[in-house]
């Protein structure tokens, strides 16, 4: 089964760390919704499988009106067979959450919320240039519960300058106490073109030391493990029955179609990228001349991507797939893994290579070692 991702490229204001494609000019919002629906029709043949998940990401998709969300969902259901228990997620900012909006989302078919909390300290939220404050973050989660949303994920960021161990542990414990069934946590990455990147270049602040970031990650894993969350992917933790189906499909190599500017698609043989420009995206869809980039994947490309995604998960990499799916010999991968296994960064369970807790701290370095170029 496949998934559908809808990129909504609008935000009220720019978070100082965000490097995704978005615009704070909302004048094209209605035209964007129309274009996304048109793109769905134009690309109907891209996927010929039942739809298991629908995901509204961004940007800030909670800037869409309920009617606009309903229109897109109805378009999907009119073109594809969507399974009865499909996971339909929308990313929401706490400041967009209200009782009426939540009721509308539920009526539209949304059954999973991804709430961008990031932190519970107002000074850190201000540093990141988030719209909401800590009080609103907590009240929005409680309101979502009251309106019948139980499948909720909340995002946190660690490695923020000034966060420290005490505040970080407090943030994790707050989500545990709120009984959030799925938690995603990411280390702050300061990209050059973001506001934080420019401030860092001017010497306005110092980034968190790598050792402290690693300790915060270890605290994250330890605290959530004790609270009965399973770390099923390096940055994602879930209580039983709440693993994110949409994101897992990316890591497990499922096919998906991405709609909207900058969105990516994958059909098993190629990757496709929409242009990261709102005006040009809409014009391309309206004139039946979409600006896209298509990358045909070789068996080596597929094997590299397989290791990049699967090694991050609890399932690990199946060496049998290397031979069967990508027509490659497994000796190279076994030999590459030996030193990491000896040093305690990886384990080999039957035919699977997996990261140990120590290995998850240097996952990118380990993954790169397996790449064949």
- Residues 315-324: pLDDT tens digits? 999 999 988 9
- Give the percent of the chain with pLDDT over 90: 92
182-187 β-sheet, strand order: 230-233, 236-238, 182-187, 152-158, 112-118, 82-92, 51-58, 2-8, 256-259, 264-266, 270-274, 292-296
> Would you say residue 24 has pLDDT above 90?
yes
pLDDT the model gives residue 205: 85
> Would you say residue 9 has pLDDT above 90?
yes
If you average pLDDT over residues 111-124, what whole number do you get? 97
Calculate the average pLDDT of the chain: 95
pLDDT the model gives residue 100: 97
pLDDT band at 222 (very low <50, low <70, confident <90, very high): very high
If you average pLDDT over residues 179-184, what whole number do you get? 98
Q: Which domains does the chain have, with CATH numbers?
A: 2-251 (3.20.20.70), 299-370 (1.10.10.920)
pLDDT the model gives residue 323: 86
If you average pLDDT over residues 90-112, what whole number do you get? 97
Alpha carbon distances (Å) from 365 to 217, 310, 345, 362, 368: 17, 15, 11, 5, 5
**pLDDT tens digits, residue range 226-274?**
999 999 999 999 999 999 999 999 999 999 999 999 999 999 999 999 9
**pLDDT tens digits, residue range 62-81?**
999 999 999 999 999 999 99
**pLDDT tens digits, residue range 275-312?**
999 999 999 999 999 999 999 999 999 999 999 999 99
Residue 349 C-alpha from the chain's centroid:
28
Q: What residues are paired with 152 via a beta bridge?
A: 113
Q: Report yes or no on whether pTM surpasses 0.85.
A: yes
**pLDDT tens digits, residue range 194-207?**
999 999 889 888 88
In sequence order, which residues have a C-beta less than 8 Å from that of residue 112 and are 6 or more positions away? Answer: 87, 88, 89, 90, 149, 151, 152, 153, 244
> Would you say residue 10 has pLDDT above 90?
yes
- Give the percent of the chain with pLDDT over 70: 100
pLDDT the model gives residue 106: 97
Helix, strand or coil for residue 126? helix
> Would you say residue 148 has pLDDT above 90?
yes
Helices 363-370 and 299-310, interaxial angle, to 10°? 160
């Amino acid at each position: 089964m496949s998934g559908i991702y809808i990129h909504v490229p609008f935000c009220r204001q720019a978070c100082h760390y965000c490097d995704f494609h978005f615009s704070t000019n909302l004048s094209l919002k209605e035209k964007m919704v129309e274009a996304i629906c048109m793109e769905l029709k134009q690309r109907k043949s891209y996927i010929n499988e039942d739809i298991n998940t629908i995901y509204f990401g961004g940007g800030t998709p909670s800037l869409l009106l309920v009617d606009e969300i309903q229109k897109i969902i109805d378009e999907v259901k009119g073109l594809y067979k969507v399974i009865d228990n499909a996971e339909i997620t929308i990313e929401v900012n706490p400041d967009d959450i209200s009782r009426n909006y939540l009721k509308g989302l539920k009526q539209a078919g949304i059954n999973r919320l991804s709430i961008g909390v990031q932190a519970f300290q107002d000074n850190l939220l201000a540093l990141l240039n988030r719209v909401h404050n800590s009080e609103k973050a907590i009240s929005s989660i409680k309101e979502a519960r009251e309106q019948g949303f139980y499948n909720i994920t909340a995002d946190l960021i660690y490695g923020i300058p000034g966060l420290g161990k005490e505040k970080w542990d407090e943030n994790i414990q707050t989500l545990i106490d709120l009984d959030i069934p799925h938690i995603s946590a990411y280390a702050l990455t300061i990209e050059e073109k973001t506001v934080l990147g420019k401030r860092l270049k001017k010497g306005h602040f110092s980034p968190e030391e790598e050792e402290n970031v690693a300790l915060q990650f270890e605290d994250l894993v330890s605290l959530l493990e004790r609270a009965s969350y399973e770390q099923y992917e390096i940055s994602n933790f879930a209580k039983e029955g709440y693993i994110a189906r949409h994101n897992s499909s990316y890591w497990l190599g499922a096919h998906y179609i991405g709609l909207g500017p900058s969105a990516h698609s994958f059909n098993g043989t190629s990757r496709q990228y929409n242009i990261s420009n709102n005006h040009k995206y809409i014009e391309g869809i309206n004139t039946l001349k979409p600006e896209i980039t298509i990358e045909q994947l070789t068996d080596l490309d597929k094997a590299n991507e397989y290791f990049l995604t699967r090694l991050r998960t609890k399932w690990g990499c199946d060496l049998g797939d290397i031979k069967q799916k990508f027509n490659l010999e497994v000796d190279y991968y076994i030999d590459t893994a030996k030193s990491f296994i000896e040093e305690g960064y990886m384990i080999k369970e039957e035919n699977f290579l997996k990261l140990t807790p120590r290995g998850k701290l240097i996952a990118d370095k380990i993954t790169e070692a397996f790449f064949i170029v």
